[in-house]
Amino acid sequence: MCQLIKYRVGFVRKFISMSQGNSARPIKVLLVEDYLLTRTGLKAIIDRDPEIAIIGEAQNGEEAIAKVSELLPDVILMDVGMPVMDGIEAARIIRETHPAMKIVMLTASDSDRDIFASLCVGASGYCLKDVSPDRLFTAIKSAYNGDIWLDASIAQKVIREYGLQPGINNKRVASLPDPLSPRELEVLNLLVNGASNQEIANTLVISLATAKTHVRSILNKLAVDDRTQAAVNAMRHGLV
């Protein structure tokens, strides 16, 4: 009970802090990791971002399932390999009872089995534990906003699974019903390489709002729902 009160007090403090400069509340995250030291380190890192708040912790999949109904997080940051119940099985069960729940897998494993098993049970993201803090924040926020976020190396594995190989063949752009503009192709190349909207904006020296507009336009023109599908479709059509 004391632990739960501590997290709720922390969440309220972040909410008040954000309300002073922004009406949006912080993203509520449940952290699921069996090693206490790793959980402590992750919590310290995530606490740096005022837009994200850790509202609870679990040390295995069974605890995670119980706490989801109790805490109703926006995003679950879930380790793959844990005792009692691993993250993949926990994600499967959670998604059955909470279909809209966003789950980001955070693990040291880049095995094909773990990657595709995680995606098959409905994970919204897959990060390796050597990810930088900024990209971890991006992964959490992307999942919260309904996107799928993958490490660049993981994205390449997904692309290879579809039987696709990177290449440059922009002659196929015209084959789309609504061809991509030169600027959209630049954005698409960055998107395929795992860049966030902010990183796209910084690289192309455009506003964040403009970068978001380009990404939305690309998703519409490729007739896909998220960034991962856009990357796969782009490779399939030889756009990048």
pLDDT digits (tens, 9 = 90+) for 30-72: 999 999 999 999 999 999 999 999 999 999 999 999 999 999 9
Same domain flag for 7 and 73: yes
In terms of pLDDT, which residue wins out, 110 or 94? Answer: 94
| Mean pLDDT, rounded, for 177-198 | 84
Q: To the nearest whole number, what is the mean pLDDT of the chain?
A: 82
Taking the complete model, does pTM exceed 0.75, yes or no?
A: no
Q: Which of 114-118, 159-163, 218-222 has the lowest mean pLDDT?
A: 159-163
Same domain flag for 29 and 125: yes
State the pLDDT at residue 109.
81
Q: Which of 67-76, 90-99, 114-123, 207-216 has the lowest mean pLDDT?
A: 114-123
Same domain flag for 188 and 134: no
In terms of pLDDT, which residue wins out, 4 or 120? Answer: 120
CATH number, domain at 223? 1.10.10.10
State the pLDDT at residue 175.
54
pLDDT tens per residue across span 151-179: 877 877 776 665 444 443 444 444 566 78
Last residue of a domain, which of 144, 160, 176?
160
Does the pLDDT of residue 131 top 50, yes or no? yes
Does the pLDDT of residue 220 top 60, yes or no? yes
State the pLDDT at residue 164.
43
Same domain flag for 58 and 173: no
Q: Please state, for a pLDDT cut of 70, what percent of the chain lies above it.
A: 80
Reported confidence tier of residue 230, pLDDT bands at 50, 70, 90: confident
Does the pLDDT of residue 17 top 90, yes or no? no
Residue 51, Cβ density class (10 Å: 0-12 exposed, 13-18 middle, ≥19 buried): middle
Same domain flag for 53 and 98: yes
Domain that holds residue 29: 2-160
Same domain flag for 58 and 109: yes
Same domain flag for 119 and 177: no
Does the pLDDT of residue 145 top 80, yes or no? yes
State the pLDDT at residue 237.
62
